[in-house]
């Protein structure tokens, strides 16, 4: 992983001539060295998307003056924009239930440095994974969820997220549906993972249902959470091919692998400010 100190400028705005020139000139006038640049013009929505990674030590003047001055350009182009500092790691709050494959994978990638973040805490509606999480030195909170306690439970999830200064919430096979209030409050900041059998195979044991139907592809989808169940903007997807020799248990095993890989990639893209919302879709600068 590159540990060079950088700033990442990510933005979107109505498309028009001169955006790239204006932003590049602004950075160049401050002697900024751009080490990665991406942009995309969406013909359907008429919006423009841009991401620049700038060497921090190349910039003249303070970052505060950079932000203030760029705000004037952003206003003129009606930009939605953010500037991230690579030395300020985003704080991730993980939500889990009993299945541990996504949690274990994310914890490993965090400890190995593959995910540049801080795991602030883990919240679960079960107590099964406490020992594993606390062994890593991460706080673990058991917040049971029942039909009668859902409102109070999600208020507690919200409180814990705020108390631990969370930047992004990750549903790492959290088998509960978040409240519409949480979905709206943290729009674009909650990432989910699920199998890609929907809507054909819903409910329990989807991999076994798929096996009974003889499917030849299984996959996973990671997306931002919205109040509309499993319909938020998609960040990442992947598939695995199977054949007649695979058993239902093989499908479950392959499914675990593709789920954890898709979720880790989606989170990595989010942490690196590579994902920009485009209505019900996303632009992902991989």
Residues annotated as catalytic are 230
Residue among 160, 155, 178, 167 at smallest CA distance from 232: 178
Whose tokens are 């700038």? That residue is 54
Whose tokens are 């409240």? That residue is 179
DSSP letter (8 states) at residue 165: T
Helices (H), 127-239: 130-135, 150-163, 180-185, 206-213
Structure tokens, 202: 């819903």
Establish how many alpha carbons lie within 13 A of residue 90's alpha carbon, considering only the half-sphere containing its beta carbon: 19
Q: How far apart are the first and last CA of the chain?
A: 15
What region, left, alpha or beta, does residue 65 occupy, with left being phi > 0 and alpha being psi -120 to 50 degrees?
Answer: alpha
Cα separation values, 167 from 41, 94, 100, 191, Å: 28, 11, 22, 11
Residue among 98, 100, 136 at smallest CA distance from 120: 136
Structure tokens, 135: 């062994």
Residues in the chain, total: 286
């Amino acid at each position: 992983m590159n540990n060079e100190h950088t700033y990442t400028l990510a933005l979107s705005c109505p498309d028009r001539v001169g955006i790239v020139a204006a932003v590049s000139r602004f950075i160049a006038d401050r002697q900024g060295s751009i080490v990665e640049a991406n942009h995309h013009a969406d013909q359907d929505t008429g919006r423009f998307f841009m991401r620049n990674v700038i060497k921090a030590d190349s910039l003249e003047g303070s970052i505060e003056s950079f932000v203030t001055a760029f705000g004037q350009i952003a206003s003129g182009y009606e930009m939605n924009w953010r500037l991230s500092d690579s030395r300020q790691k985003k704080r991730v709050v993980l939500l889990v239930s009993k299945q541990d494959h996504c949690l274990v994978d994310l914890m490993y990638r965090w400890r190995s440095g593959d995910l540049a973040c801080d795991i602030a805490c883990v919240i679960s509606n079960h107590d099964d994974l406490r020992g594993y999480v606390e062994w890593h030195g991460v706080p673990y909170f058991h917040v049971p969820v029942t039909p009668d306690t859902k409102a109070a439970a999600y208020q507690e999830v919200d409180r814990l997220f705020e108390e631990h200064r969370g930047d992004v919430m990750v549903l790492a096979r959290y088998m509960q549906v978040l409240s519409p209030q949480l979905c709206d409050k943290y729009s674009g900041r909650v990432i989910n993972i699920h199998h890609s059998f929907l809507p054909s195979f819903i409910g329990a044991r989807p991999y076994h249902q798929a096996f009974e139907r003889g499917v030849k592809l299984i996959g996973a989808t990671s997306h931002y959470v919205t109040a509309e169940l499993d319909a938020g903007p998609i960040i990442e997807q992947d598939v695995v091919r199977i054949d007649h020799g695979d058993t239902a248990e093989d499908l479950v095993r392959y499914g675990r692998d593709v789920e954890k890989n898709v979720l880790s990639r989606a989170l990595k893209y989010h942490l690196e400010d590579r994902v920009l919302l485009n209505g019900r879709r996303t632009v992902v600068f991989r």
